[in-house]
């Protein structure tokens, strides 16, 4: 709609589709704020994180600073006008691999994730972005998933009033029928 409106009235418009944005300052208490939060809080509290399905779902994590860079680029480059761009990290990770990255950052490699076999209603099996169109403007992700996790871990460790709300979050999602058992 925005692109159509922009083109119709010649108002430079760009649509950005963000992959899974990671970085510091994401809410510790929003149960939908992502794998980095869930895994970081789990390892912070010495608990095994829950990994849904079989852990082999593919995700494309992008650092918040790379998202900022992409936004600034399309605002300054007229070639972006009236286009839609995917903004991703440029590399697919399994959710299990991402859990291992977080475990390593927290020094908790001995705590293995609980691969539940359950799934979250509405989740897609694989969520990865094709960023080739944005790359034609000269943008490329500069930060890795490890960079995002390190930044989030530093932010988490600097807080003084963090409560363990993971069990509450999981129970709430189950009560709302968001987390469901597989049929097999």
Are the C-beta atoms of residues 91 and 145 closer than 8 Å to each other? yes
Q: At 167, which CATH number?
A: 3.40.50.720
At residue 38, the pLDDT reads: 87
**Would you mind telling me the total number of residues written for the chain in this entry?**
184
Question: Per the structure, how many domains does the chain have?
Answer: 1
User: Residue 87's closest CA among 107, 58, 62?
Assistant: 62
- From first to last of its 184 residues, what are the pLDDT tens digits of the chain? 999 999 999 999 999 999 999 988 877 766 666 889 889 999 999 999 999 899 999 999 999 999 999 999 999 999 999 999 999 999 999 999 999 999 999 999 999 999 988 888 888 889 999 999 999 999 999 999 999 999 999 998 888 776 666 565 666 656 666 666 776 4
Q: Which range marks the domain in which residue 17 is found?
A: 2-180
């Amino acid at each position: 709609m925005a692109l159509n409106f922009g083109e119709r009235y010649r108002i430079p418009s760009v649509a950005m589709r963000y992959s899974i944005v990671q970085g510091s300052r994401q809410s510790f208490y929003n149960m939908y704020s992502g794998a980095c939060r869930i895994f970081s809080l789990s390892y912070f509290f010495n608990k095994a994180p829950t990994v849904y399905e079989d852990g082999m779902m593919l995700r494309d994590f992008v650092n918040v600073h790379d998202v900022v860079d992409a936004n600034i680029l399309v605002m300054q480059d007229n070639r972006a006008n009236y286009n839609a761009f995917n903004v991703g990290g440029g590399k697919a990770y399994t959710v299990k691999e991402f859990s291992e990255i977080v475990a390593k950052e927290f020094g908790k490699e001995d705590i293995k994730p609980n691969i539940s076999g359950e799934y979250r209603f509405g989740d897609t099996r694989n969520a990865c972005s094709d960023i080739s169109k944005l790359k034609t403007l000269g943008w490329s992700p500069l930060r890795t998933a490890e960079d995002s996790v390190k930044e989030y871990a530093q932010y988490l460790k600097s807080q003084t009033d963090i409560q363990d709300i993971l069990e509450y979050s999981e129970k709430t999602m189950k009560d709302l029928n968001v987390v469901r058992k597989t049929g097999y």
